[in-house]
Amino acid sequence: MTGYLGSYATLGLLLLAGVLFLVVAFTANRVLRPARPADPPGKRASYECGLDPVGGDWAQMQIRYYVYAYLYVLFAVEAVFLFPWAVVFDRPGFGMVTVVEMAIFVGVLALGLLYAWRRNILRWT
């Protein structure tokens, strides 16, 4: 398919094929499933590693886990920014300016880590 509308026709055919695939899959599921699925006792009970569940279904999560996840994301983003900087650093014209910018970036992250360390956020209890 060429011309101005060729790419739109290709996209339309792809979308049509996707919708057709879903319709065929759901129709096959409806035709091939049992008419009355079995509902043995205990089928809808909670399952925890082969043991009977203990207690209710409400569990309170400590905020500390979210702080650890946030710190992990923070330092993963730092690594993502450090790699391109290291690749560009040795190119002409990027000398001292890039070193100062990255020093400011790493300094701000170091201040955040120091704050977390001083507040005992990093201590696993």
pLDDT at 51: 65
Q: How far apart are CA 122 and CA 8, in angstroms?
A: 53
Give the Cα separation of 120 and 36 in Å (integer).
57
pLDDT at 12 over 70: yes
pLDDT in tens, 48-93: 666 666 666 677 777 778 878 888 888 888 888 888 777 777 777 7
Q: For the chain, what is the radius of gyration of the CA atoms? A: 28
